[in-house]
Structure 1
Amino acid sequence: MRKISRITTQKKHKDRYNIFLDDGQKEQYGFSVDEAVLVEYRLHKGMEMDEATVTTLIHQDTLHKSYTLAINYLSYRMRTKKEMYDYLIKKEVDDEHITHIMEKLIAEGLLNDQQFAEAFVRTRMNTSEKGPMLIKKELMEKGVRDTLAEEAVASYTYDMQFEKAMKLAKKKFQSGKSKSYRQQLQHVQGTLMQKGFTADVVQAVAGELQDEKDDHAEWQALVKQGEKLLRKYQQKYSGNELHNKIKEALYRKGFTIDHINLFLDEQVDD
């Protein structure tokens, strides 16, 4: 039967200890453990160690190190169960240990997908331009069940969506003044859908923007686009052919026929 002959603190890791064993003939290094394992098993000089005990201590120390990895991973932000499981797999933690660690973290309230989803939605609402559908998609990609994700995004009310979507829409309009109103509106609607806002919110925002249409800005945009097209086409076309080329191009860009004809009458010679 071997006995613990010395316990020393590791130089680089002050919370880890080297255990030396003596079999009656010579002393040699046995294994190392974390301080938590040292305390839990009350390891001390002179304590007898059989092979089964040594194996248990090494197993517990490995488990403790893996658990510490998990705690460190949680220290940066909350995690879903799937994120934690994938992380432990990546760190090559034994399946048996993963099960134990996951159960312990859940029991301690450190892994809770419902709490994660609620906090995630609050953060996204406060710090991003994303709508509920995109946020729900992100939650499900992180492993949150569909029902939990749906419940969490329910806190993203219609009024909150509308306010955020309208703010984003107006910003997009400001950056697209050289385009026709129709083209800008289509772009804004597409952007809002991509951002995950619901169809009723996108429709309501579009309706609100109809009332804010600026005819002067629309005319300025048409003139800018028309003059650019005129410079492009007049090198190859003239007369009716030039008129038609410019008219078709401006119509595709979303300008009205009345405005297009007015521009052509003022700017393009017959």
Structure 2
Amino acid sequence: MPVITKIAVQKNNLDRYSIFVDYGKGEEYAFSVDEDVLIKFNLKKGMELDDFSLTEINFQDDIRKAYNLGIHYLSRKMRTETEVRDYLKTKEVDEPIIQEVIHKLYEYQFLNDPEFAGAYVRTQMNTSEKGTDLIKRELREKGVSSTTIENALMEYTLTKQLENAKQLCDKYIQKYKKDSERILKQKLEQLLLRKGHPHQVISLALEEVAFEKEEDEEMAALRHQAEKAHRKFSNFTGFEYNQKMKQTLYRKGFSIDMIERYLNEREDY
């Protein structure tokens, strides 16, 4: 049975110790352990190590190394349980050891999915353009349970959702001002959908936001689109030219009456 002959702190890692033993042929290096494992098993010079003890020591040391990896990963920012599990898997940590590490991280409150979800919702709600549907999807991808997500999203009230959706619309209305009113509304709806706002919020926001144009503004937008269309169809004349212009401008969301008025004005020049 091997006997511990020397325990020495490692030069490059003061939290780990090298264990030397005598297998009957003289002293040789056997393995290394974390300081916590050294203390837990009361390892000291002259101690005999049987096979069971060696197996348990190595198992506990593997847990400690994986735990330290988890702590380092969590030190950068808050993470979910699933994110920590996935990270440890990339480090080729075995599943039984991962399970032990997760248990310890919960025990010392380094992991807390409800707290993570709440903080994530507050951050996205106050600093991003995201709606609840997108936030929900992102939390699911991070492995947060549906119940935890729903509880966290209660903080993102309908009033706050509507406020954020309207601010987003106001921000982009100027960008799309050269589009027709109908196309502008479609683009705002698509934008809000991409940002993950629910249909109820989109409907309420579009009722309240000032995207409707005065007639002269709509005509100015039509003229802008018509000039681009004219350059495309300038080689056509007469009926064929008018039909192509009408089809293009109608697809751009302008009314037939307004298109006719524009084309009549053009013919007068």
- TM-score when normalising by structure 1: 0.91
Q: How many residues align?
A: 269
Superposition deviation, residue 23 in structure 1? 4.3
SS class of match (1:28):
strand
1:20 alignment partner in structure 2 = 20
2:262 alignment partner in structure 1 = 263
Q: Which moved more, 1:137-146 or 1:49-58?
A: 49-58
1:143 alignment partner in structure 2 = 143
Superposition deviation, residue 192 in structure 1? 0.5
Superposition deviation, residue 9 in structure 1? 2.2
Superposition deviation, residue 269 in structure 1? 5.7
Report if the CA contact (8 A) 2:70-2:88 is conserved: yes
Residue-by-residue CA offset, 1:67-113 (whole Å, 9 max, x unaligned) = 11122222122222222222223322222212222222223322222
Matched, 1:129 2:129: yes
- Residues 176-195 of structure 1: pairs in structure 2 closer than 5 A: 176-195=176-195
Residue-by-residue CA offset, 1:42-86 (whole Å, 9 max, x unaligned) = 323333333332332222111110111122222122222222222
- Structure 1 residues 25 and 209: alpha-carbon distance in aligned structure 2, compared to 1, 3 A threshold: closer
Provide the identity percentage.
45
In structure 1, C-alpha distance between the alignment counterparts of 2:165 and 2:225, rounded to whole Å: 28
Superposition deviation, residue 20 in structure 1? 1.0
SS class of match (1:187):
helix
Please list every run of 5 or more consecutive structure 1 residues that lacks an aligned counterpart in the other structure: none
SS class of match (1:144):
coil
Matched, 1:9 2:9: yes
SS class of match (2:140):
helix
In structure 2, C-alpha distance between the alignment counterparts of 1:163 and 1:217, rounded to whole Å: 26
In structure 1, C-alpha distance between the alignment counterparts of 2:69 and 2:49, rounded to whole Å: 28
- Structure 1 residues 145 and 25: alpha-carbon distance in aligned structure 2, compared to 1, 3 A threshold: closer
Report if the CA contact (8 A) 2:129-2:164 is conserved: yes
Residue-by-residue CA offset, 1:189-221 (whole Å, 9 max, x unaligned) = 111122111222211221223565244432222
4+ runs deviating over 6 angstroms? none
Please list every run of 5 or more consecutive structure 2 residues that lacks an aligned counterpart in the other structure: none
In structure 2, C-alpha distance between the alignment counterparts of 1:209 and 1:180, rounded to whole Å: 16
Q: Residue type matched to 1:78 in 2?
A: M
1:167 alignment partner in structure 2 = 167
Q: Which moved more, 1:166-175 or 1:210-219?
A: 210-219
RMSD: 2.0
Report if the CA contact (8 A) 1:10-1:16 is conserved: yes
Superposition deviation, residue 39 in structure 1? 2.5
2:157 alignment partner in structure 1 = 157
Q: Residue type matched to 1:246 in 2?
A: M
Matched, 1:87 2:87: yes
In structure 1, C-alpha distance between the alignment counterparts of 2:209 and 2:259, rounded to whole Å: 22
Report if the CA contact (8 A) 2:185-2:211 is conserved: no
SS class of match (2:209):
helix
Superposition deviation, residue 158 in structure 1? 1.2
- Residues 1-80 of structure 1: pairs in structure 2 closer than 5 A: 1-23=1-23, 25-80=25-80
Superposition deviation, residue 246 in structure 1? 0.8
Q: Which moved more, 1:83-92 or 1:119-128?
A: 83-92
SS class of match (2:18):
strand
SS class of match (1:48):
coil
In structure 1, C-alpha distance between the alignment counterparts of 2:19 and 2:201, rounded to whole Å: 66
Q: Residue type matched to 2:266 in 1?
A: Q
In structure 1, C-alpha distance between the alignment counterparts of 2:261 and 2:198, rounded to whole Å: 38
In structure 1, C-alpha distance between the alignment counterparts of 2:190 and 2:19, rounded to whole Å: 65
Report if the CA contact (8 A) 1:239-1:269 is conserved: no
SS class of match (1:38):
helix
1:249 alignment partner in structure 2 = 248
Q: Which moved more, 1:53-62 or 1:63-72?
A: 53-62
SS class of match (1:227):
helix
Q: Which moved more, 1:86-95 or 1:165-174?
A: 86-95
In structure 2, C-alpha distance between the alignment counterparts of 1:164 and 1:80, rounded to whole Å: 26
- TM-score when normalising by structure 2: 0.91
In structure 2, C-alpha distance between the alignment counterparts of 1:130 and 1:156, rounded to whole Å: 11
